[in-house]
């Protein structure tokens, strides 16, 4: 928790950058894709806290993504994933994904497809992404379906939603809520979000509390985006 407070403070103290499209949320995607020939690196830091009374159960995940815009509403991305758990830092796998913008008006639909090749789990994921801006207020809504091939065949579904409004030229505040539905349990989370930055550099953060008995006590995530063009 102290690490996320420090990251939040750092984001607020960064110099202002030119406004442009960026991630406003960390669990919820907006219906945008990388512009043609744009190359961006993103770093994801995720904290999962199953039990606040037992810090040994905390998990820290690090994801490094390179994404590239192919044009005509289509981009691709490749992730490398690492995990720090119980003082052990290790490589856990890779992910490859693509996004295609199939709807430019109204809800601005994007189709997201991903394959995960992890050390102990292989899975495929599909996501429908919708959202829009209205009077400065942004909202986004996702539906996610994931099928794990190994070690066992399992389905997982999720719904993510976010809304935010501008507090300044390069600063937005809002909230996110998401629900995860597995075969024998469900988990609900919600919490505040903050986004700062612009085209060349941006940060998005969220701290979410578990809302039911099937949820972890809390989850937190920070995403940093850097334009490499």
Residue 168 token pair: 């300044």
pLDDT of 66? 97
The dihedral built from the CA positions of residue 97, 95, 28 and 128, taken in this order, carries a sign that is positive
- pLDDT band (50, 70, 90) for residue 50: very high
Copy the structure tokens of residue 120: 């102990």
- pLDDT for 15 equals 37
Each residue's pLDDT tens digit, 96-150: 999 999 988 777 899 999 999 987 789 999 999 999 998 889 999 999 999 998 8
Structural tokens at position 109: 């639909």
Position 219 pLDDT exceeds 60 = yes
**DSSP-based three-state secondary structure for 12:** helix
Residues, the chain: 229
Question: What are 100's strand-pairing partners?
Answer: 74, 111
Q: What is the predicted pLDDT for the residue at 85? A: 83
Query: Do residues 23 and 11 touch, judged by C-beta distance below 8 A?
Result: no
Q: What is the pLDDT of residues 184-217, one digit of tens each?
A: 899 999 999 999 998 899 999 999 999 999 999 9
More confident residue, 6 or 192: 192
Report the pLDDT value the prediction gives residue 12, as an integer from 0 to 100: 44
Q: What percent of the chain lies above the pLDDT cut of 90?
A: 76
Nearest to 187 by CA among 162, 207, 155, 216: 216
- Neighbour tally for 228: CB within 10 Å: 11
Kindly tell me if the per-residue pLDDT of 8 is higher than 80: no
Task: For residues 70 and 101, give the distance between their C-alpha atoms in angstroms, rounded to a whole number.
Answer: 12
- Domains of the chain, with CATH numbers? 2-227 (2.40.160.40)
What pTM did the predictor assign? Answer: 0.88
């Amino acid at each position: 928790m102290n690490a996320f407070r420090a990251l939040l403070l750092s984001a607020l103290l960064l110099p202002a950058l030119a406004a442009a499209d960026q991630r406003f949320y960390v669990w919820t995607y907006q219906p945008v894709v990388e512009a043609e020939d744009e190359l961006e690196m993103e770093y994801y830091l995720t904290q999962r806290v199953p039990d606040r009374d037992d810090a040994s159960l905390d998990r820290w995940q690090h994801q490094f993504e390179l994404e590239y815009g192919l044009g005509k509403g289509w981009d691709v991305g490749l992730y490398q994933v690492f995990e720090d758990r119980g003082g052990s830092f290790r490589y856990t796998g890779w992910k490859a994904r693509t996004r295609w913008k199939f709807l430019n008006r109204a809800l601005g639909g994007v189709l997201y497809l991903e394959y995960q090749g992890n050390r102990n789990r292989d899975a495929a994921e599909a996501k429908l992404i919708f959202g829009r801006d209205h009077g400065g207020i942004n909202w986004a809504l996702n539906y996610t379906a994931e099928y794990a091939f190994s070690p066992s065949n399992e389905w997982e579904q999720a719904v993510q939603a976010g809304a935010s409004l501008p507090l300044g030229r390069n600063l937005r505040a809002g909230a996110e809520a998401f629900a995860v539905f597995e075969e024998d349990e469900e988990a609900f989370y919600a919490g505040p979000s903050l986004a700062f930055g612009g085209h060349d550099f941006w940060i998005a953060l969220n701290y979410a509390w578990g809302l039911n008995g099937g949820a972890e006590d809390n989850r937190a995530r920070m995403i940093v985006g850097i334009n490499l063009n």
